[in-house]
Amino acid sequence: MNVSHNNIDQLNAIVTIEIEKADYADKVKKSLRAYGDKANIPGFRRGHVPYGMLVKMYGKAVKADEVNRLVSEALYNYITDNKLNILGEPMTAEDQTIDIEADENFTFKFDIALAPEINVTLDKNITVPYYKIAVTDEMVGKQDEMFRQRQGKQITIDAVSEERDLIKGSMVELENGVAKEGGIVVESTILSPAYIKDEKEKFTAAKVGDKVIFNPAAACGDSMGELASMLNIDRDAAAEVKNDFEMTITEITHLQPAEHDQEFFDGIFGKDAVKNEEEYTAKVREMIAMQLIPESEYRFGIDARKAIEAQVGELELPAEFLKRWLVATNEKYTEENISEEYSKMEADLKWHLIKEFIAKTMEIKVVDEDLKALAMSVTRQQFAQYGMSNLPDDIVENYSQEMLKSKESRAQLIDRATETKIQEAIKNAVTLEEKEISTEDFGKLFQE
């Protein structure tokens, strides 16, 4: 057997594998005998099938299997041993015709795409802006309001004090200004002026004991789901409701925000983590700053990519091979749409190659400790979305371990950890031009 390759150009090559009968004959014979030892063939005892019979019945199929296996191993080993940096996967040459059943000697040819050579040195000569979003008093105030609402309690009041108050009462359907005979009667329902679309003013100053006449369909903005919920009926029946209703208000509840006391501080940041107003404000400001870091990191990734791509310069890819390979391996790509689809992905393909080069030259690796730390961070973020920000480490660790047991989740974490490490390596290598920026101006960066 002889394996060689010939470069067509810097990005395309052909690997040729020449196989003679002597390369596979013994393997075919061995496979046939092994099959004869196990096969149940009518008229013969197991293990006593004549070899000639095995050749006649299975020889062509076994030969094809052994030749294909031999070619696959030779191709893989040649690419590995010669350290060919290929893109995609080898593809059978388009002009190749082989008859495995009839021929004894074969010449297989495979088209391969070679990755372009990348040269970039990450050092302090590369300058990348790093935007730190300024934390304003307004941000701190809004976050404080959210915390106070979350830690607040419901109290009953005599009259609506703000739109978010909840109004409880009974409702009866009207016709010509009086209760409709056989009409809809709702013993108990709850609504809030904040969600009323029409005639909101009838409720913003309402008091316990008031009787308010309004049109529920208009108040719900023709949302059948909201109307059905308000009237305690199904959606189909709600679609037929057009009349006014009279609501008798029996109770009004108001969310009273929590006061800034030690119980409040402990509920937000954990016991004794904050002990006074000044420490609380500083902690809220620090928390917001931490929440904004991912935005800064995301923008840094965009700007770092621009700077590094400029250093790399024009990067040519074996476009025709990659189009052919994508069509052959992915059902979403066809001969008709591949040119358009490829043009959309080409820039990201080039950046992916650059990142692989960076990871290799800077010896970036993801270890179990990285995955565990990331899994715990993701778990904390998920619980924080539901207001659970002070979970004990053992609970977080148990959830993160379950995440790591999932193959899909683990693969996603590996990709994310690798991406993070590459970006961190870039950040440490280049010169950061730190700039404080407002949220408004930060948003404008993406418009530009």
Q: Write out pLDDT tens, residues 360-386.
A: 999 999 999 999 999 988 888 888 777
Residues 347 and 325 in one domain: yes
pLDDT for 6 equals 93
Residue 261 has pLDDT above 80, yes or no: yes
β-bridge pairing 431-437 and 153-157: unpaired
Angstrom CA distances, 250 to 50, 157, 204, 247, stand at: 96, 11, 15, 9
320 in a structural domain: yes
pTM: 0.74
Average pLDDT over residues 197-222: 93
Contact 59, 32 (CB under 8 A): yes
Alpha carbon distance 255, 153 (integer Å):
6
pLDDT for 111 equals 95
Residues 170 and 226 in one domain: yes
Which position has the token pair 């009237």? 231
**For the sheet containing 12-19, what is the strand order?**
2-7, 12-19, 106-114, 86-92
Work out the pLDDT band at 389, boundaries 50, 70, 90: low
359 in a structural domain: yes
321 in a structural domain: yes
Residue 178 has pLDDT above 70, yes or no: yes
pLDDT for 61 equals 87
How high is the mean pLDDT of the chain?
A: 91
Residues 291 and 241 in one domain: no
45 in a structural domain: yes
Neighbours of 11 (CB within 10 A): 20
Residues 238 and 349 in one domain: no
Handedness of CA 367, 369, 374, 375 (dihedral sign): positive
Residues 186 and 305 in one domain: no
323 in a structural domain: yes
Residues 61 and 192 in one domain: no
82 in a structural domain: yes
- The CATH number of whichever domain residue 34 belongs to comes to 3.30.70.1050
Handedness of CA 373, 378, 379, 385 (dihedral sign): positive
Residue 391 has pLDDT above 80, yes or no: no
Q: What is the residue range of 201's domain?
A: 153-256
Residue 448 has pLDDT above 80, yes or no: no
Half-sphere exposure of 54 (CA within 13 A, CB side): 22
Average pLDDT over residues 58-80: 91
Chosen domain end from 256, 286, 304: 256
Alpha carbon distance 50, 39 (integer Å):
12
Q: Report the domain count for the chain.
A: 3
Average pLDDT over residues 107-115: 95
122 in a structural domain: no
